[in-house]
Amino acid sequence: MSSNYRRCLQPLLLLVLALSSGSCAHRGRTLLLTGRSAEHAEKFHLVDVRKEIRGIDIDLRYATANNVAGHPLYPADMPCLLRSETAAKLKQAEAILRAQGYGLRIWDAYRPPEAQEILHQASGKSRMFLAPDAGWSRHCGGIALDLTLVDKHGHEQRMPTGFDQDLAHSQTNYQGSDPVVRRNLQVLQAAMKQAGFIQLEAEWWHFDDAAYLRNPQPIIYGWELALPVMSPP
């Protein structure tokens, strides 16, 4: 870990303690942006998805220990953020799916670069996460999403793999024999494409805002939004 990275994390860890001490009533939910973080997010054209799309299902996996790192990288009340234009497209995709009796569950949206570096280290040789020296993920600019399909009751539908799992079988071009998985994947892909997203071929759960594929947005560090990011244990 670089000395610059450690210096960035030190003030963030203090914010973790402060946030955790006052947020017990919000455990298991994603907090709506308030105060200083909301002001900073607006400067970077980021919006809170939970506020923009009422009732959308959000389960930020990196705010839990249920991820490839094995420990939380975000505070438990991490807000779900996207660029405003990307959030508008997501709202359209959700509406398309709701009309069919489905919905979306978001596993990740904006991802602080501090967390991206930890994920790269935790993933080892899997190449699941970009190395910082090779370029930052579009998640770090708030223009990418990891998500899955749910029914109207919020039950996850069968997909080729779990989240961040089995890269050998996680491609968007499903080669398995399960017709239910094939149909679920097609329903999800069609809605996201219609709304203006393009899918990462290696990961069925990852979608990028197509408008920014050739117009990458600057990365936004967690400390720039006054958001805490946890360090490795």
Integer Cα distance of 79 and 11 in angstroms = 19
Q: Is the pLDDT of residue 105 over 70?
A: yes
Which residues is 83 bridged to in the sheet?
46
Higher pLDDT, 16 or 189: 189
3-225 CATH pick, 3.40.50.2300, 3.60.20.10, 3.40.50.740, 3.30.1380.10 = 3.30.1380.10
**DSSP 3-state of 119:** helix
User: Cβ(115)–Cβ(81) under 8 Å?
Assistant: no
Give me the helices (H) in the chain, please: 3-21, 35-43, 49-52, 84-98, 113-122, 179-195
Sorted by sequence, the CB contacts under 8 Å of residue 2 that are 6+ apart come out as none
Q: Maximum CA pair distance of the chain?
A: 51
pLDDT tens digit string along 52-67? 999 999 999 999 999 8
Neighbouring CB atoms inside 10 A of 18's CB total 12
**DSSP 3-state of 213:** coil
In angstroms, the Cα distances linking 23 to 115, 175, 203 are 21, 44, 33
| Residue 85 annotated in active site | no
pLDDT tens digit string along 18-58? 333 333 223 333 445 555 666 788 899 999 999 999 999 99
Q: Name the most confidently modeled range: 22-36, 80-94, 167-181.
A: 80-94
User: Cβ(204)–Cβ(214) under 8 Å?
Assistant: no
Higher pLDDT, 75 or 80: 80
